[in-house]
Chains A and B, each alone.
Chain A
Amino acid sequence: MSLLELDNVHKHASDGPRQRAVLREVCLEVQAGELVVVWGMRRSGRSTLLRVAAGIERPDAGTVRFDGRDLAAHGKRLIGNEIGYCHKGLRFSDGHAALDHAMVGLLSRWVPTATARKRARVALERVGAGHCAERRQSELSSAEAIRVALARTLVLGPRLIVIDEPVNGVELIDRDSILALLRALADEGTAVLASTGESTGLSEADQALVLGGGELRGAPGPELAPVLTLKRDSAQRMSG
Chain B
Amino acid sequence: MEQKTLTLNMGPQHPATHGVLRVILEVDGEKIVKATPVVGYLHTGIEKTMESKLYYKAIPCTDRMDYLAPMSNNLGYCLAVEKLMDIEVPEKVKWARVCLAELSRIKSHLVWLGTHAMDLGAVSMSLYAFREREMIVDIYEACGGQRMMTTYIRIGGLAYDLPPDFEKLVRKFLKEMPARLDDYETLLTNNQIFIRRTKDVAVISAEDAINWSLSGPMLRGSGVKQDLRKDNPYSGYENFDFDIALGETGDAYDRYKLRLEEMRQSLRIIQQAIDGMPSGPYRAHVPGVVLPPKEDILHKMESLIFHFKLITDGFKSPKGAVYQGIEAPKGELGFYISSDGTNRPNRVRVRPPSFVNLACLPVLCEGSLISDAVCAIGTIDIVLGEVDR
Partners in one complex: no
